[in-house]
Amino acid sequence: MTDGPRLLAGRYTIGDRIGRGGMADVYVGTDTRLGRRVAIKLLKPSLATDPKFRLMFREEAQKAARMAHPTIVRVFDAGEETSTDDSGASLQTSYIVMEYVDGRLLKDVIAEGPAEPAEAVRIISQVLTALEYSHRALLVHRDIKPGNIMITQSGQVKVMDFGIARAVSDNSATVAETGAVLGTAQYFSPEQARGETVDARTDLYSTGVILFELLTGRAPFRGERAAAVAYQHISEPAVAPSSLNPKISPAIDSVVLHSLNKDKFDRYQTAAEFRADVQAAGAGEVPTRRVPAADFNSTLFGVNPNARAGSEATLRQLSSNDDERIVRTQARPPVAWIWAGVALMAAILVAVVIWVISLPTEPDSLTNNLSVSVPNVVGSTYDVGAATLTTAGLVPAQFGQASDTVPEGTVVSTDPSSGQKVSPGISVRVYVSLGKNPTTVPRLDQLSEAAAQQAIQDRALAYGVTTRENSTTIPEGTVISSDPVSGASVREGDTVNLVVSSGLVDLQSVVGQPYNTAITNLTALQFSIEARQDLGCTGGAVTSQSLPAGEQPQRSAITITYCAG
């Protein structure tokens, strides 16, 4: 290992690395004093250099160490180790010593595909138990995601990294600025995405995202960039999980969508409330809405600014004593109210009878009115595909996607995919090919042929053919030019051809030329010239040359004879 000392704090022996993250690397280790196996998390040096972070880290680590619960990974020790590198500079390494968990990360379990609803409910219930415990200790996790949840060999769920996210985020201006450290944007709450103050309800939103992913095998919001995903958390509603996995019941749909409410006052307010509903939905019961009971939430969150005056009056009436309540003096409702109720019930019965009579006789007709099948528009242009989806009663939304195989402007895929049954009016994402990614030809002249071919491949371009060309100045095997030329705009996968020096020059005959003209022409070819006089003739013309006309190696030696009589 090169990331830290072999012996930490004079006590912990560091072994093999078992995990890597944006904030820290995790190693298996041994507590030499107690003789037990531990997991050691070494934080990145860039975090440990800030004194404000180190102070916040120590405080949050102490809070996390006080939590002891079967669903939470225990923190045994935390501190800082000072060491020196090869140059003699001092290095600060912040570390956390935790309980070693023999199991798998939840993100690896999700990668295998959707879980059975019963298993998803079991896992999320234990996660919510851990959050209920930590929230009552006034410790908000802030980074709930599958990468921070372990499943042991016996099926026990354990949540880890309590307090670390708080130390990082409080050391920055906003949560949005630490997105690369706090985890992927897929699990952000809307308030995190907006850079606002977060509380325990942020953890519950992130848990709802994980429950959606466990049930469907994919996150509710996806995009090529973190900013695009954060925007969807803020403004776009999540689809019902049952539209992606038919095994999911309407009750579980209701729980998931309630947990993903954009307004934190309208989603679950406590982990206990969330757990009760998800367990009831998993058992086949329909969760009931309850009047919120007074608990620690009033300390954490304050009063809902969206609460209506009538609701507040109702809560005051429910919480008042017997002396303060209004005393009813009428023993039964007025007679007019009774007859009004009878008339209303009769009208409802008549409406139901008319509706039943008007129902279609064919079962398929009734089903078709409740859902539509997404038509297959893959391979068509967006305009054609959008028209087809609109005709089917769906709302198309265009998204670009680079593709090496699908021509530009052609539909690559849709989400939901073709053939799936969805509710009429649902938005269908239509991914249209942007073609191959645009790029430019790198500068290739003066490179060797092998280096030029490598540069072409590094730019995701295809090497074509090499043409040899004679040159008086460029050494053999060196690139003279390319087609397309360097700097030209192309797309990934396009072919680039090379023109490479052959190491030869084209020699023309100088016999019969005046001596001075012959010397000038041969010098331009960078030949090594030896001139000999022929005293048997006059006029100064060249009478012979040692090399014949045609291709000759660069910088060859040549002897000419000229008349000097």
CA distance 375 to 548: 75
- With H, G, I as helix, E, B as strand and everything else as coil, classify residue 236: coil
In 3-state terms, what secondary structure has residue 78?
A: strand
- Residues 250/253/259/263 CA torsion (nearest 10 deg): -90
Short-list 38, 43, 75, 264, CA closest to 159: 75
| 57 closest CA partner among 75, 72, 73 | 75
Laid out side by side, the sheet with 557-563 consists of: 528-534, 557-563, 542-545
> What is the chain's Cα-based Rg?
38
Q: What is the 3-state secondary structure (H, E, C) of 321-385?
A: CCCCCCCCCCCCCCHHHHHHHHHHHHHHHHHHHHHHHHCCCCHHHHHHHHCEECCCCCCCEHHHH
Q: Compute the distance between CA of residue 285 and CA of residue 350 in angstroms, rounded to an integer.
A: 31
CA distance 373 to 250: 19
Contacts of 513 (CB under 8 A, 6+ apart): 521, 541, 542
Q: Is 170 a catalytic residue?
A: no
Phi, psi of 408 (to 5 degrees): -60, 135
Helix-helix angle 200-216:250-259, to 10 degrees: 140
Active-site residue identified among 16, 143, 404, 483:
143
Active site residues: 143
